[in-house]
Structure 1
Amino acid sequence: MIGVLLVDDQPLLRRSLAMIIENEPDLAVVGQAGDGGSAVLRARSARPDVILMDVRMPGLDGLEATRRICADPVLNGSRVLVLSMFELDEYVYEALHAGASGFLLKDARPEELLDAIRRTYRGESLFAPSILTRLVAHYVAAPRRERTPAPPPGLTPREVEVLALIGNGLSNDEIADALVISVKTVKTHITHLLAKLAARDRAQLVIVAFNSGLVSPR
């Protein structure tokens, strides 16, 4: 059972999300919070697997709450999926660097939300397609001097290839097709990358790929 914590300052939206989630046999709402401060406290007590986090809330906002949750060793098993009405670039970048595993718009369909929760639980990064495209474009356009000029040390050539494809937004299936290897082999490479780079999840691998200059212009 995947435990989900709902964080949003709108009670009606929390109720709607709870109804969607509770209808799934493998998902359960383990708590709710209406602001970032309460979210941090509730996460520590409920130990959710996935936290659906709103950005704009009174008091402590969702980005700072995400930062505190992801930095808390007690909550190492909890992953944050940021939900927002806005796809403002600064929100996406801040959410990523705060430790979020993904960023989804609130206009997503229910089935997209449920898929996002499950993927986040499995350690996959999740971004709305429009957001990922803009995220990649931002890093590609950034001055080269702002990024590490070489891949992280200690990686095999194949791991560097996989990391680059992750940074370009490819799924495991797409990576397998591009490199002509099995999906199982792709997952093994990703496991090695997470360990070697001390990354929390796939979203952090995306950041490493960007900062290492491995993302190619589209």
Structure 2
Amino acid sequence: MASSAEAKTSATRVTRRRAETRDRLLTAAYEAFSEEGFGRATVERVCERAGFTRGAFYSNFGSLDELFLAMWEQRSAAMLAEVRRTLDEIPVGTDDVRTSIERLERAVPVDEAWYRITAEFTTHALRNPELRRVMAAREEAIVNALMPTIVAGLARVGRTVPDPDALGQALVAVHDGTSVQVLMEPRSRVVRRRRTDLIYHVVLAYSTETEG
């Protein structure tokens, strides 16, 4: 009979192997969705890219929809961590609002491949009421997780946010809308400067100078 230590080691190996399989499937799916399109990608194509069988796929994900949501969660967690790291590095009273926004933009870059994937999946979700609700709830959760960091970052530069939810929705709208413009004219400094200007004015509109 295996000892408890041996059983624990075996379980750890299984968990690590499962995590590695899951990561390889997520990477393969990202490539497939980006290059072929979400609507054209299949479980077979994802498995082929990852070097696994359909069994490996279905032991980790119930569908391509579920896989995309896992990918979204993974990328959102990485983005939140980078935003927190970036804004936490702002020394109190040193940056102005615009400089802080430029820091934030570097932490959340416009990624063409990811934009193509999310745009196609959003269109897909709009045709599925249940999936639409799931996406709306997840986006709300991401904004709720992000806003305390944004509010704290603005406090470091002397701004108070009366309604974080409203600012969060406005920032998402600006980011999504201006991302298209940046991707259409990736070499245009004017487009990027106007994007920063718009974010700056939105932040000013939804925040006030801290008293005292």
TM-score by length of 2: 0.29
Structure ranking higher in strand proportion: 1
* Larger CA Rg, structure 1 vs 2: 2
Question: What is the TM-score of this pair, normalised by structure 1?
Answer: 0.29
Greater helix proportion: 2
